[in-house]
């Protein structure tokens, strides 16, 4: 009996494999994890199984985890993506699918164990123009492919004198990737996160349907996808709000010895959110061992002198970075040309190049990003910045507030239940030994739990259902319901590890 079985398998395998190699037109190892129907599709020519492709798709910016897919799709159109998802959805052997934007994820969120990773950037290599700007007043918007990176969106819109109002601090992230999280930075207090600045989306759902959605049409899908961690569909186009672009940026740095003065002033700065105050507000920590020339610091020599003199008597000081945009008309109201608008928005890229030159970009990144309610930020300072993180030299730490009323609670993104909350961001990096930094993160989270601080993780990562349930809180049942509607077989973004009950979701 066992012998007969193995013979049958041999014949079956031969029968399956030989047509595959001839249809594709070249000898290639077809993964047994993928159904054979795939090879009969036109897109088979754009699937790669070789080690170069799968190894590339098994990594991310975090360099903390590695998961091999069975194949990588280099789509030549949105239709390719839809066909791939449809074929998994209707197959006897469904497989998981992950859209890979710029892979700046930290913990494997962009990976698909034995599934197919979609290299979204390939959509940009077609003849189609994938950033289209509408500049006829009052309809300022840009239709941009989900694979586009924000620096290219900025360049294209500036040619029309326009710009998205809400940014991330680093612009080499994909539109689909940041809209799947939220997209935050020092402008969020004023304009909301990037997900609050989207008019319309084209999405390939977990059934492979291409659906256009907005607040007015297919609104359930629209709200689900924004901040939806890639769970409900693949964003192939986003209509992004645009505003007239400023030309210049006045950039101010304020230093504090006292945490309560630092937070009081930040909260005051973000309270004037009618456009008359500052346009950008971020805060950070500076310790006596901080590198004032690190990749996220932009101090003049004069600033550095002041900082050093303050650090001579204080181990820990606080820094607010605030900017005011202006142009040639409003120039008389500000005293000095500090930076161009583009130079300011793209400042972190210089930091990236600096780290790349030192071989410090492709290292381990156990980053942690949490939202802390305003009412508990001073407890966080005492318990975390002054104790757990004391003498820590693990990278820049940012602390800045946002207004809850700029977020739309119908969207999937999760934030604390307070009118103002702080984004606290630990940008940790290590060449080798990174586990102790992860321990540090765990200590901080457990401090929050013990102290009853209702913090929420941004760019969350949990490995248990309980972790995810607690993260989403009252939004959990809606999140599950949305999954059932838009991706009932649990095919999409398996690397987030939210829905792991399907065999093709497991790793
Ligand atoms: P990927 O890592 O490629 O994907 C992330 C998730 O989204 C995956 O689950 C993936 O499957 C899914 N996904 C990707 N594309 C699509 C799509 N088209 N449709 C649906 N799902 C999709 N975040 C901020 O908010 N503000 C910042 O200032 C900021 N700065 C950063 C700076 C650096 C150096 C790094 C590494 C990260 C930063 N982030 C920031 C975090 C960043 O926004 C997220 O990691 C984001 O997901 C990165 O975009 P990406 O294109 O690399 O996404």
Q: Does the active-site annotation cover 327?
A: no
Q: Which of 80, 147, 169, 279 is catalytic?
A: 169
Q: Does the active-site annotation cover 291?
A: no
Instruction: Quote the pTM value.
Output: 0.93
Residue 253 — pLDDT band, cuts 50, 70, 90?
Answer: very high
Residues with CB under 6 A from ligand 1: 60-61, 98-105, 109-110, 120, 146, 168-170, 173-174, 176-178, 180-185, 229-230, 234-235, 459, 493, 495-496
pLDDT at 175 over 70: yes
Q: CA-CA distance, 105 to 66, in Å (whole number)?
A: 12
The rounded Å distance from CA 98 to ligand 1 centre is 13
Residue nearest to atom 29 of ligand 1 (CA): 168
The rounded Å distance from CA 174 to ligand 1 centre is 6
pLDDT in tens, 308-363: 999 999 989 999 999 999 887 666 555 555 799 999 999 999 999 999 999 999 99
Residue of 85, 105, 413 with the most ligand 1 atoms within 8 Å of its CB, for mutation: 105
CB 116 within 8 A of CB 34: yes
- Residue of 503, 398, 365 lying closest to 184 (CA atoms): 398
Residue of 168, 412, 426 with the most ligand 1 atoms within 8 Å of its CB, for mutation: 168
pLDDT in tens, 116-134: 999 999 999 988 899 999 9
- Residue of 267, 301, 303 lying closest to 283 (CA atoms): 267
The rounded Å distance from CA 333 to ligand 1 centre is 37
Q: How far apart are the first and last CA of the chain?
A: 32
pLDDT at 366: 96
pLDDT at 290: 87
Tokens of 397: 């730490």
pLDDT at 50 over 50: yes
114: left (phi over 0), alpha (psi -120 to 50) or beta: left
Q: Does the active-site annotation cover 267?
A: no
pLDDT in tens, 396-450: 999 999 999 999 999 999 999 999 999 999 999 999 989 999 999 999 999 999 9
């Amino acid at each position: 009996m066992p012998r007969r079985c193995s013979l049958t398998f041999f014949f079956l395998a031969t029968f399956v494999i030989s047509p595959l190699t001839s249809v594709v037109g070249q000898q290639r190892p077809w993964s047994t994890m993928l159904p054979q129907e795939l090879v009969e599709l036109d897109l088979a020519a754009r699937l790669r199984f070789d080690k170069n492709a799968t190894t590339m798709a098994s990594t991310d910016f975090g360099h903390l985890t590695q998961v091999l897919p069975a194949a990588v799709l280099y789509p030549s159109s949105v239709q390719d993506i839809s066909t791939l998802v449809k074929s998994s959805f209707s197959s006897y052997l469904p497989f998981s699918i992950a859209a890979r934007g710029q892979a700046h994820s930290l913990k494997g969120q962009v990976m698909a164990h034995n599934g197919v990773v979609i290299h979204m950037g390939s959509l940009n290599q077609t003849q189609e123009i994938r950033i289209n700007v509408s500049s006829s007043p009052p309809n300022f918007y840009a239709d941009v492919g989900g694979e586009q990176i924000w620096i290219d969106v900025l360049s294209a819109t500036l040619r029309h004198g326009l710009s998205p109002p809400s940014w991330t601090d680093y612009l080499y992230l994909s539109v689909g990737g940041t809209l799947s999280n939220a997209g935050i930075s020092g402008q969020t207090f004023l304009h909301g996160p990037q997900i609050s600045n989207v008019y319309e989306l084209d999405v390939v759902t977990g059934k492979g349907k291409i659906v256009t959605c907005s607040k007015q049409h297919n609104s359930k899908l629209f709200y689900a996808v924004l901040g939806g961690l890639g769970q409900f569909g693949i964003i192939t186009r986003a209509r992004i709000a645009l505003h007239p672009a400023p030309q210049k940026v006045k950039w101010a740095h304020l230093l504090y010895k006292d945490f309560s003065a630092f937070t009081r002033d930040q909260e005051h700065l973000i309270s004037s959110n009618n456009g008359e105050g500052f346009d950008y507000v971020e805060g950070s920590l500076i310790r006596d061992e901080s590198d004032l020339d690190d990749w996220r610091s932009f101090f003049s020599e004069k600033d550095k002198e002041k900082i050093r003199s303050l650090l001579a008597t204080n181990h820990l000081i606080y820094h607010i970075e605030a900017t005011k945009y202006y142009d040639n008309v409003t120039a008389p109201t500000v005293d000095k040309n500090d930076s161009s608008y583009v130079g300011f928005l793209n400042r972190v890229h210089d930091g990236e190049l600096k780290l790349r030159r030192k071989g410090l970009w492709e290292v381990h990144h156990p980053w942690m990003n949490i939202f802390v309610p305003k009412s508990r930020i001073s407890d966080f300072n005492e318990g975390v910045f002054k104790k757990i993180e004391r003498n820590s030299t693990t990278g820049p730490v940012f602390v800045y507030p946002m207004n809850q009323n700029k977020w739309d609670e119908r969207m999937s993104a999760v934030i604390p239940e307070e009118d103002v909350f702080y984004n606290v961001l630990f940008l940790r990096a290590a060449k080798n030994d990174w586990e102790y930094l992860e321990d540090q993160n765990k200590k901080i989270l457990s401090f929050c739990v013990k102290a009853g601080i209702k913090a929420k993780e941004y760019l969350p990562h949990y490995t248990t259902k309980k972790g995810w349930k607690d993260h989403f809180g009252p939004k959990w049942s809606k999140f599950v319901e949305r999954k059932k509607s838009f991706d009932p077989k649990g095919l999409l973004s398996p690397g987030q590890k939210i829905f792991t009950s399907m065999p093709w979701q497991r790793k």
